[in-house]
């Protein structure tokens, strides 16, 4: 696949958080409908990559370039990136007191639909879709009428992220440790959703330490991040090696 067919093309990306340069020349490409797993030790910059790509104001791009579906991603503001089809599931989804989940998600879905030139969903169509998706994800119906993530458990917050993913149907979803805090049913629901959306063309950049989920998703590529760069590329065998020997061993192997 040539560069023009890449969904995401990151070249030599350098990102600073405060005074610290976390990403120091990271390059990666993701094709439509593929699953790429990003692994790395704590503090290696995995979350920074997702937050920088989606435009978090505290993550300053100091160099490099990013093209998303052929357009200059870094020239877009946060909501333009989202409307272009970039989705980030948060490692710790924040709460929004007083804003009911169904209102929040419907507002988001209709903003994205408008950007795609689609008609907005009316309240009843939206609720029908939302309830069906929530049921598939094991999210209690009552969560739709509660304030966003307010009083939700860790697993419920992650399921709520998945609900938004399912309804927004992005081109690329960055899932940052979506499995943390989830029970086995939640992990199973995650795998089913990723597979279903992948079949419809959504690509995934998955940050995970959970070997069983990585194996189940049969990723197209596994990347290891170290010192703010992609240190190693491979397939499932790389994920298995990291699971077996850890990140320190992997660093030594690369150095050798």
Q: Which is nearer to another protein, 79 or 252 (CB)?
A: 79
User: Cα-atom radius of gyration of the chain, to the nearest Å?
Assistant: 18
Nearer to another protein, 67 or 106 (CB): 106
Residues lying near another protein in the complex (CB under 8 A) are found at 54-58, 77-79, 81-83, 87-88, 90, 93-100, 102-108, 110-112, 115, 123-124, 126-127, 144-145, 147-148, 164, 168
Q: Which is nearer to another protein, 63 or 93 (CB)?
A: 93
Contact 244, 37 (CB under 8 A): no
d(C-alpha 22, C-alpha 49), whole Å: 9
Rounded Cα distance, 139 and 153, in Å: 11
Separation of alpha carbons 144 and 34, rounded Å:
30
Please report how close the Cβ of residue 9 comes to another protein at its closest, in angstroms: 21
Nearer to another protein (CB atom), residue 107 or residue 153: 107
Question: Measured from the CB of residue 243, what is the shortest distance to another protein in angstroms?
Answer: 30
Distance in Å, CB of 129 to another protein, minimum: 12
Cβ partners under 8 Å of residue 198, min gap 6: 33, 34, 35, 204
Of the pair 115, 243, the CB lying nearest another protein is at 115
Least separation in angstroms between CB 81 and another protein: 8
At its nearest, how many Å lie between another protein and the CB of residue 82? Answer: 4
Residue spans of beta strands (DSSP E) within 69-215? 71-72, 86-89, 96-100, 147-148, 172-176, 203-207
């Amino acid at each position: 696949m040539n560069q023009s067919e890449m969904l995401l093309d990151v070249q030599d990306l350098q990102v600073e958080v405060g005074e610290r340069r976390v990403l120091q020349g990271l390059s990666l490409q993701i094709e439509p409908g593929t699953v790429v797993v990003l692994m790395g030790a704590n503090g290696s910059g995995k979350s920074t990559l997702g937050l920088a790509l989606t435009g978090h104001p505290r993550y300053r791009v100091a160099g490099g370039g990013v093209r998303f579906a052929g357009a200059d991603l870094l020239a877009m503001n946060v909501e333009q990136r989202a409307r272009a089809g970039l989705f980030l599931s948060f490692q710790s989804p924040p709460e929004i007191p007083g804003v009911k989940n169904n209102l929040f998600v419907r507002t988001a879905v209709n903003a994205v639909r408008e950007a795609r030139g689609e008609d907005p969903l009316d309240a009843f169509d939206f609720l029908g879709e939302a309830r069906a998706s929530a049921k598939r994800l094991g999210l209690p119906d009552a969560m739709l009428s509660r304030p966003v993530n307010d009083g939700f458990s860790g697993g419920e917050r992650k399921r709520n992220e998945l609900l938004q993913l399912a309804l927004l149907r992005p081109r690329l979803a960055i899932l940052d440790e979506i499995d943390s805090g989830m029970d086995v049913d939640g992990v199973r629901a995650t795998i089913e959703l990723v597979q279903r959306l992948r079949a419809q063309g959504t690509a995934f950049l998955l940050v995970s330490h959970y070997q069983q989920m990585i194996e189940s998703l049969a990723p197209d590529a596994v990347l290891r991040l170290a010192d703010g760069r992609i240190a190693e590329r491979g397939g499932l065998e790389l994920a298995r090696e990291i699971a077996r020997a850890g990140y320190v061993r992997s660093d030594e192997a690369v150095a050798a």
